[in-house]
Structure 1
Amino acid sequence: MSPGADQIPVPLSALEHYAYCPRQAGLILLEAGYADDVNTVRGTLLHQRVHEPAEETRPGVRTLRALPVWHDGLGLTGVCDVVELLDDGEVVPVEHKSGSYKPDNPADLQLAGQAMCLEERFGRAVPLGYIYSSADRRRHPVAIDAELRARVIELADAVRAVLTDTVLPGPVADKRCRGCSMNTLCMPRLLADRKLYRRQLDLRFRPTPESDAWDD
């Protein structure tokens, strides 16, 4: 199955990108723009294992890796890193991240989106998920509460608006930019300062004496 035909599908990963920075999400979704740094490479290496479809069984739990999920009503689609199916019927998503974990961060929204998709797939409530941080090698519990669910729906609509309008959101030009691997592609400080931007355009596209001679 796929998301409803009347909706543009929103990737679950885009929820996290948009929550961190709308422009970052726009560059990825509209221009296929992406740049690696040490953190993104570390994340790619971490996900090589969990992104290989696999199934493991041990007493009390069945573990699924790289599980495709979707939510027709919300138009969400993506892949869960790890989903644990417990013997009592509980369904638990586990999202793997390479960096350290901070509560109430954008990764929680991606996890919540996964939980909502899993509820549609398995027909069971998914009230809890985990973010696994490779930095401290721990699982951090995340309650999939009403507030987080509402935020997922809000962000899905915002991402879909970017995909529909095909207009890049403006740059934020704040402390987030220092740690973003896409800083060079985005040019946040230049674009956020309209006077500087116009001055740079004038310098680069000012007619030269040779072009003036051609005009004569």
Structure 2
Amino acid sequence: MSEPIQVSLSALEHYDYCPRQAGLILLEESYADDASTVRGNLLHQRVHEPGDESRPGVRTLRALPVWHDRLGLTGVCDVVELRDDGAVVPVEHKAGPYVSGGPADVQVAAQAICLEERFKTPVPLGYIYSGADRKRHPVAVDEALRRRVVDLSRAVRAVLADTVLPAPVADKRCRRCSMNELCMPKLLANQKRYRDELDRLFQPADESPGDD
């Protein structure tokens, strides 16, 4: 039995936010920064240095590689806390505000699933640390969220296997996306306008009068 195509944990979050954004990153290796992504990169620089520290009651691991063989998932956890009561708790760091039920929940749930395989213990809870309000927001890794991770991993794997960019969404998400100019959602979502623009750009020159 062949192994499934590996899907990164970050790709799940990208696809959940916008399938086309994920496709541009995965298939064309395209990416563009804006103020929000720069803030996120700076935040992650502080937590992506591999490390191990301890304080009473908890051992903290940083930049911990994780994977799940059956689901074909792989990635790196920002922070994982190993608590004295046996709990294993992932803490994903985000620069922007936390949105309950949003794509970040998928990423931390996927981390929990991978940690369960690595540490052989249930991981029912994770946290999203928001740099916007400097708070931890709990994420219950319930069955519904686990199914969402599985469904998204299949969707991302299909994009990788088919090598076809998903269609643009052209909605309010695009205004906040750093890849708006690379994606051209408004133009591509309007297929008639897109075809008209192609016809205009590539229309052959008119033949001169009298030419055979």
TM-score (norm 2): 0.96
The correspondence of residues 71-82 of structure 1 with structure 2, limited to 5 A, is 71-82=68-79
- Partners of 1:195 and 1:10 lie apart in 2 by 34
Which residue of structure 2 aligns with residue 148 of structure 1? 145
Which residue of structure 2 aligns with residue 179 of structure 1? 176
Runs of 4+ in 1 over 2 A off after TM superposition: none
Matched, 1:51 2:48: yes
Deviations 1:45-84 (A, max 9, x none): 0000111101111111000000000000100000000000
Q: Percent identity?
A: 72
Specify every segment of 5 or more residues in structure 2 that has no aligned partner in the other structure, as ranges: none
Give the deviation of 1:5 after TM superposition. Answer: 4.9
Specify every segment of 5 or more residues in structure 1 that has no aligned partner in the other structure, as ranges: none
Which residue of structure 2 aligns with residue 60 of structure 1? 57
In structure 1, which of residues 28, 32, 36 is the aligned counterpart of residue 29 of structure 2?
Answer: 32
TM-score (norm 1): 0.95
Of stretches 5-14 and 30-39 in structure 1, the one that deviates more from structure 2 is 5-14
Look up the equivalent residue of 1:142 and give its one-letter code. V
Look up the equivalent residue of 1:165 and give its one-letter code. D
Deviations 1:126-154 (A, max 9, x none): 00000000000000000000000000000
- Partners of 2:38 and 2:154 lie apart in 1 by 30
Matched, 1:93 2:90: yes
Q: Aligned pairs, how many?
A: 210
The correspondence of residues 180-199 of structure 1 with structure 2, limited to 5 A, is 180-199=177-196
- Partners of 1:99 and 1:121 lie apart in 2 by 29
Matched, 1:111 2:108: yes
